[in-house]
Structure 1
Amino acid sequence: MQFKEIVGQASVKQRLINSVKENRVSHAQLFLGPEGSGALPLAVAYAQYVSCEDKQADDSCGICSSCRKYQKLMHPDLHFSYPFFAKHKDDNALTFIEQWRDAFLANSYLNLDVWRGYLDAENKQANINIAECHQIIKKLSFKPFESEYKILILWLPEYLDKAGNALLKIIEEPQPNTLFLLVAQNQDQILNTILSRTQLIKVPCLTYDDVKHYLIENGQPKALAEQAAYLSNGNLTEALQILQQDTDNYHAQFVQWLRICFGNKGLEAMKMVDVLAKLGRENQKNFLRYGISFLRECCLLQAGVPNLVHLPADELETAQKMATAIPVNAAEAITAELEKAHYHIERNANPKILFLDVSLQIIKILFFKTLPKGTQYINN
């Protein structure tokens, strides 16, 4: 994988390239970024650049023997470790290496749910077990075969648990020319003993424009790309998953729902609840995420910062009208109800009961102008 294949992250790419040019390659580095930010492909592109036989000014060459092997994830000095669903106590990452290559080459922005789909996970919990830790130590005790460096990319060290302590010595005192590249999403879940031994590389969320332009360049219609980028909040993995769902017009549905609640139209509200209850769990979550984002844009318009609003022209016009009709405190109260609904949908709440309850809460807020008591939304 080359840096040019990675969406956005220009400053992080330049920092990594400079570290190689200036011979400041730390032996243990932690790529820390939220899901969908590209931390994993960045680590792979960095490893390929370090090993490239003909480094260019801003990327690996892509055609040397090393790069060709990296592009297939089959370089003898490149090793991977990742969470898996062990069937036997002796299972390690090599047991699942073919599935890992298939998953990464199909979508380098994969998450644990996507990875689970390539494995016979059943009801097992993902982890990086002690057998894998011993395998890592064994693999990294040898000298590099072809390249200057032997490189291990460890995806999601959050799943190491206490078994990770077996790696402390080799992380702190590795063999010469050995690189540890850890790729994580939650710093708080990583063992402190490992965290303190790594150099931190922070990978920020992608911007709205980064995600939108990537989707358009890959053949998505502009309207769908804008909606997916808007709903994903900088998570390219989520944007791609949204596009795999039904492309319902969340905007029209959400605005219709608000108008029905604003007018306290009971029969229409019940019909709307039936429609929303039949969307399916993923579409329901996307619908609620859209509503949360749309109301946030309305609040930004009311605050006088339209330059921060990312909405298509027709949706922006509706948001401007909504911003004059719905006070900020009411929008915040509705947003809180939608966030709670999203939480419960994820936990398999009955959708018909849930959307009926949320509808009644929105009617109280918009029609009866009654804000929730005991919250920051209540007027003095």
Structure 2
Amino acid sequence: MQFKEIIGQQEVKLRLINSVTENRVSHAQLFLGPEGSGSLALAVAYAQYLSCEDKQPDDSCGVCSSCRKYHKLMHPDLHFSYPFFAKHKDDNALTFIEQWRQAFTANPYLNLDIWRGYLDAENKQANINIAECHQIIKKLSFKPFESVYKILILWLPEYLDKEGNALLKVIEEPQPNTLFLLVAQNQDQILNTILSRTQLVKIPCLNFEDIKTEMLTRHHQTETAASEIAYLANGNMTEALAMLQQDTKSYHELFVQWLRLCVSNKGLEVLSFVDQAAKMGRENQKNFIRYGISFLRECCLLRAGAERIVKLPEHEMEIAKKMSGVINLSMGQAVIAELETAHYHIERNANPKILFLDVSLQIIKILHLKIVPQGNHYIPN
């Protein structure tokens, strides 16, 4: 994988390239970024750049022998470790290497749920077991085979239990020209003994424009659809790609219609909406609720006078301004809390008809009857 194939993250790419050109390559680095930020793809592109036989000023060449092997994830000096669902105590990452290559090639922004789909996971818990730790030590005890560096990319070190302490010596005192690239999402879940031995590379979530541009250029979405996907994804490219597989109809009009029905307390029409929402399918229901939460937060920002940081398409901005004149901060916070609870229950397979009816009644109570639950942080204004 080359840097140019990765969406956004220009500052991180430049910093990684400079570390190579200035000969400041740390032997153990932690690529820390939220899901969908491209941290795993950046680690692979960085490894390819380090091993490239004809480095360009801003990327690997993509055509040398090393780059061609990296493209297939089959370079003899590139090793991967990742959580898996062991069937036998001796299983290690090599047991699932073909599935791993297939998963990463199909989607470099994969998460654990996507990875699970490539394996016979059943109800097993993912982890990186002691057999894999021993395998890592064995693989890295040898010198590089044909490249300058031997590189291990360890995805989600959060799934290393106390067995991960077996890696401390090889991380702290590796063989010459051996690199560890750890790719993580939650710093707090990584063993402190490992964390203290790595150099941190922080990777931010993607911005709205990067995801929107990707949706427009590579996935041929309309301007409206691209804006909505980028807005809902909230910097997470994994979520954005998942939305492409779902119903692409706009959630904006449907959500605004729902709010208007609740504000005016139109009972029969609310019931009609409930029937419609119940048939949307679980993933679309989750995205619809997520959109509603994001939209109401923007309305609250408008109400608070923070228009400059609101990120809504122009046609949605006009509606949000009108809504912010009707919904005060306490109401907005209360409705958001109801939607967050609904999202939680949808993920746990709640009956959608009962759920949307209940949420509708709660929103009617807040917006029509103006009964706001106690405990809100804002005074109605």
Does 1:317 find its partner at 2:318? yes
Match of 1:104 in 2: 104
CA distance in 2 between partners of 1:375 and 1:315 (Å) = 26
Moved over 4 A (4+): 377-380
CA separation in 2, counterparts of 1:106 and 1:255? 36
Give me the whole-angstrom Cα distance separating, in 2, the residues matched to 1:70 and 1:41: 12
**Residues 1:329 and 2:330 are matched in the alignment:** yes
Deviation, 1:310, is 2.3
Deviation at 1:241, TM superposition (A): 0.4
TM-score, length-scaled by structure 1: 0.97
Q: Establish whether residue 214 from structure 1 lines up as the match of residue 214 from structure 2.
A: yes
Aligned to 1:295: 296
Alignment of 1:341 with 2:342, yes or no, is yes
CA contact (8 A) 2:29 2:182 kept: yes
Alignment correspondent of 2:135: 135
1:39 aligns to 2:12 (yes or no): no
Paired residues for 1:19-58 under 5 Å? 19-58=19-58
Identical-residue share of aligned pairs (%): 77
SS at match of 2:269: helix
SS of 2:79's equivalent in the other structure is strand
Mapping of 1:157-176 within 5 angstroms? 157-176=157-176
Residues of 2 paired with 1:73 and 1:222: CA distance? Answer: 35
Q: Which amino acid aligns with 1:272?
A: F
1:308 partnered with 2:309:
yes
CA deviation string 1:168-217 (max 9, x = no partner): 11011111110000000011111111111100100000000010001111
Q: Which moved more, 1:102-111 or 1:244-253?
A: 244-253
Does the 8 Å contact 1:143/1:150 carry over to 2?
Answer: yes
Q: CA deviation at 1:221?
A: 2.2
CA contact (8 A) 2:275 2:353 kept: yes
- Code of the residue aligned with 2:235 in structure 1: it is G
Alignment of 1:210-249 (within 5 A): 210-218=210-218, 219-249=220-250
- Secondary structure at the aligned position of 2:30 is classed as strand
Give per-residue Cα distances to partners, 1:212-271, cap 9 Å, x unaligned: 001111122222111111101000000010121112321111111101110111222122
CA distance in 2, matches of 1:379, 1:292: 19
Task: Give deviations 1:53-78, integer Å, cap 9, x for gaps.
Answer: 11111111111111111111110000
- Which amino acid is the alignment partner of residue 100 of structure 1? W
Is contact 2:329-2:380 (8 Å) kept? no
Per the alignment, in what secondary structure is the counterpart of residue 372 of structure 2? coil
Could you state the TM-score of these two structures normalised by the residue count of structure 2? Answer: 0.97
Q: Which residue of 1 aligns with 2:370?
A: 369
> Is the CA contact 1:372–1:378 (under 8 Å) kept in the aligned structure 2?
no
Contact preservation (8 Å) 1:231, 1:286? yes
CA root-mean-square deviation: 1.3
Q: Distance in 1 between matches of 2:351 and 2:379?
A: 29
Give the conservation status (yes or no) of the 8 Å contact 2:38–2:109.
Answer: yes
Change (3 A) 1:372 1:302: same
- How far apart, in 2, do the equivalents of 1:210 and 1:308 lie? 17
Residues 130 and 163 of structure 2 are in contact (CA less than 8 Å); yes or no, is this contact kept in structure 1?
yes
Distance in 2 (alpha carbons) for counterparts of 1:36 and 1:374: 34
Q: CA deviation at 1:354?
A: 1.7
1:305 is displaced (CA, Å) by 3.1
Q: Does the Cα contact within 8 Å between 2:157 and 2:190 map onto a contact in 1?
A: yes
Q: Does 1:14 align with 2:14?
A: yes
Residue 179 of structure 2: SS of its match in structure 1? strand
Instruction: For residue 379 of structure 1, report the CA deviation from its aligned partner.
Output: 5.0
Q: Distance in 2 between matches of 1:4 and 1:47?
A: 14
Which deviates more from structure 2 when the two are superposed, residues 292-301 or residues 152-161?
292-301
Give the deviation of 1:10 after TM superposition.
0.8
Is the CA contact (8 Å cut-off) linking 1:133 and 1:167 kept in structure 2? yes
Q: Match of 2:284?
A: 283
How far has the Cα of 1:127 moved from its partner?
Answer: 0.8
Q: Secondary structure in 2 aligned to 1:31? A: strand
Q: After superposition, what is the alpha-carbon deviation per residue over 1:58-102, rounded to whole angstroms, capped at 9, x for unaligned?
A: 111111111111111110000000111111111111111111111
- Deviation (angstroms), 1:154: 0.3
Paired residues in the alignment total 380
Name the CA shift for 1:321/1:335 in 2 (closer, same or farther; >3 Å).
same
Paired residues of 2:228 and 2:250 also in contact (CA < 8 A): no
Which residue identity lines up with residue 33 of structure 2 in the other structure?
A: G
Q: Give the letter aligned to residue 367 of structure 1.
A: H
> How far, CA to CA, are the matches of 1:106 and 1:160 in structure 2?
25
Distance in 2 (alpha carbons) for counterparts of 1:236 and 1:313 = 23
Contact 1:224 1:243 in 2 (8 A): no
**Structure 1 unaligned residues grouped into runs of 5+:** none
| Alpha carbons 1:330, 1:377 under 8 Å: kept | no
In 2: Cα distance, 1:161 partner to 1:352 partner: 41
Q: Identify the residue that residue 117 of structure 1 maps to in structure 2.
A: 117
